[in-house]
Amino acid sequence: MNVEVDPPQPRSDEDLVTEYNAGQADALDVLIRRYYDRVLGQAYGRLQEVDAAREVAQDVFMRVARALPRFRGDSGFSTWLHRITVNVCLDYLRSSYIKPAVDPVDTVSDDGVRWHLNAATYSPYEYVAARELAGSIEDAITRLPTDQQRVFRMRYHDHMPLAKIARELGT
């Protein structure tokens, strides 16, 4: 007699938060494995430095571990995690570790998106060409309807999968 056993269903983020708050430390490990690449991608998208992005990702999950007991669930875990990631990136940029490579006048304040260019990694020609390209891309993005701008930023700046974007936007 063959009895088919359904594979275990992955635990939801909410279940993992509850488990962690109940003292099951391995639940945090699952959340870290689930979201590390996304956090790293978001940090890299803002900082444009691999080492800085790794440092920020580590700090994000340290903050998450300390803050999980206060997580109320008013928003989804991934939304909450995204906000923490943005805040840690901003803290990192404000710190003495690195300074934004582009004058703040050249940054885009919408949703905290910045096109960072580091003159030290480019020849003068490449730096100017990259600045012009970043400006052209930002101009093109701002000409999109607001909803499309949001989707574009979620997909290409925050590296969110399309299914997650659809769920968050309710489409």
36-89 pLDDT, tens digit per residue, is: 999 999 988 888 888 888 999 999 999 999 998 888 888 889 999 999 999 898
pLDDT digits (tens, 9 = 90+) for 84-128: 999 898 888 877 444 444 444 444 444 444 445 554 555 666 666
**Torsion over CA: 88, 104, 45, 47 (sign):** negative
CA distance 142 to 150: 10
CA distance 85 to 158: 10
**Structure tokens belonging to residue 122:** 């480019």
Domain covering 11-99, topology:
Rna Polymerase Sigma Factor; Chain: A (1.10.1740)
Q: What is the pTM of this model?
A: 0.54
List every span in the chain annotated with CATH 1.10.1740.10.
11-99
43 touches 60 (CB < 8 A):
yes
Q: Which residues contact 117 (CB under 8 A, 6 or more apart)?
A: 101, 102, 127, 130, 131, 134
